[in-house]
Structure 1
């Protein structure tokens, strides 16, 4: 019976520890639910952790999840303030997380930090090789992109015809009568140049292997930003331009840089 009781006791202890870990995880999630950890919350968590008999190793598996939950709250409004970033650092410190354990969150945090700086007027500058700049021109952003144009990609015949056909010459005939068919052209966006989109305080530039353009900011009439590119029209040009980003994720940064540049430098 002694061995059997020992097995039962170990099973009960393991089950209780699993329940304790689950409850502590819920306590952690609740504590960071506002994107911060107060001293009282930390003291309470430490007390519970000791009561549950949990070690750092026991909660290691949920640390990244807890930080991600706090980060999600902080970025809910699509930006992270300096105060929110400070709170996130405190949470990371408490959880004992290294930067490489939360790389995805850190990358997104850096992007949001940059976006916040742009909105405050602190625009980044980027080195662009082989770009002939104008006097007083500064490059703010360069995004790998593809220039696309709307072109006819297929033509097909629809409808039918009635009447009599006669031969015009050997192998060629012409049908006379009530012709009701017509040719339909299908258009689509076709990549025409692979390169990069550059935004400066004076121009929006595309440099590619097939085509290129450089347009002054005050010539732009309308811009629409999408998650995978942008679409804009300009003075004295009937067709709009479409640029597709090679990777998604920076559309709001491109939009913020363009918006600031146009509003502050577009008429200069």
Structure 2
């Protein structure tokens, strides 16, 4: 007979918890996250939040070490709330940063689920839309790109898959015909034809490497291909759930696709950088 993992009392034969204790724990945990979220949204005071969460934790069988986790989870939900409209205004950003500073939350804690990165990305997009050159990215080490003097680095993606759309021609309906022997070693083929051609468009994985977005160009560096594309040479952008595609202004240019893992951010970033004037 085991003990309940929540209240510590005997749970019964082959049972790990009392159903009522589990329900109490889950309701308490959700309430703790909600209170942290409200505080991060600026709807309640921060100075008494930890005491409130500590009291709730005692009542709902929540271990005290999970209080900080509840604070982080509440902050994450606040970020999601502010980004529901696809934008992050200055006041919203200030509330989230104030919450981070007050509780001494680290970037490592906040980015376990990628939410800190989403916050920074939303702020970068706001800067671009306002015509400002974002200064929010810090790069450790040296990048394999030769940036020009009149451009600024905005964002970098690693392990980006680069694809090209290529057209492949093949023949269908072909027949070998019937070979009739006329003499020794001599055959006459009857009814042989090559068929008719059809074209298939394929997305071909060309390389995997680093993608840099600047105020003037899109850069890619891989083991097979490396190139720079000025926005002025791009005719159109195509959004994808996990990246974006471009079509360049050239008769022989093939559609190019970059899989970054975050289509919403990178598509909006390159489209607005291409439209802006960041001299």
| TM-score grouping bracket, smaller chain normalisation | 0.5 to 0.7
Q: In the superposition, relative to structure 1, how do residues 91 and 37 fare at CA in structure 2: closer, same or farther (>3 Å)? A: farther
Q: In the superposition, relative to structure 1, how do residues 58 and 128 fare at CA in structure 2: closer, same or farther (>3 Å)? A: closer
- Following the alignment from structure 1 to structure 2, what is the Cα–Cα distance between the partners of residues 35 and 27? 15
| Rg comparison, structure with higher value | 1
- Following the alignment from structure 1 to structure 2, what is the Cα–Cα distance between the partners of residues 216 and 18? 57
How many positions carry a matched residue from both structures?
Answer: 253
- Following the alignment from structure 1 to structure 2, what is the Cα–Cα distance between the partners of residues 257 and 100? 24
Aligned partner of 1:151 in structure 2 is: 166
1:189 matched to 2:192? The reply is: no
Aligned partner of 1:6 in structure 2 is: none
Q: Which range moves more in the overlay, 104-113 or 23-32?
A: 23-32
Deviation at 1:56? 7.7
Deviation string for 1:165-193 (max 9, x for gaps)? Answer: 4359948652328x695465544222234
SS in 1 for 2:150: coil
Aligned partner of 1:217 in structure 2 is: 231
Deviation at 1:100? 4.1
Deviation string for 1:26-78 (max 9, x for gaps)? Answer: 544554469444139968x8399379756984582671544443333222223
SS in 2 for 1:76: coil
Q: In the superposition, relative to structure 1, how do residues 23 and 108 fare at CA in structure 2: closer, same or farther (>3 Å)? A: same
Aligned partner of 1:262 in structure 2 is: 274
Deviation string for 1:88-110 (max 9, x for gaps)? Answer: 45666888966544433333333
Q: What is the TM-score normalised by the length of structure 2?
A: 0.62
Higher share of residues assigned helix = 1
1:120 counterpart (116, 130, 151): 130
Aligned partner of 1:174 in structure 2 is: 189
Q: What is the TM-score normalised by the length of structure 1?
A: 0.64
Q: In the superposition, relative to structure 1, how do residues 80 and 240 fare at CA in structure 2: closer, same or farther (>3 Å)? A: same
Q: In the superposition, relative to structure 1, how do residues 84 and 192 fare at CA in structure 2: closer, same or farther (>3 Å)? A: same
Which ranges of structure 2 fall in alignment gaps of 5 or more residues?
Answer: 1-8, 12-16
What is the aligned-residue RMSD (CA, Å)? 4.8
Deviation string for 1:76-135 (max 9, x for gaps)? Answer: 2233334334444566688896654443333333333333333333334677445163x5
Deviation at 1:23? 4.5
Q: Which range moves more in the overlay, 90-99 or 187-196?
A: 90-99
Which ranges of structure 1 fall in alignment gaps of 5 or more residues?
Answer: 1-9
Q: In the superposition, relative to structure 1, how do residues 99 and 259 fare at CA in structure 2: closer, same or farther (>3 Å)? A: closer
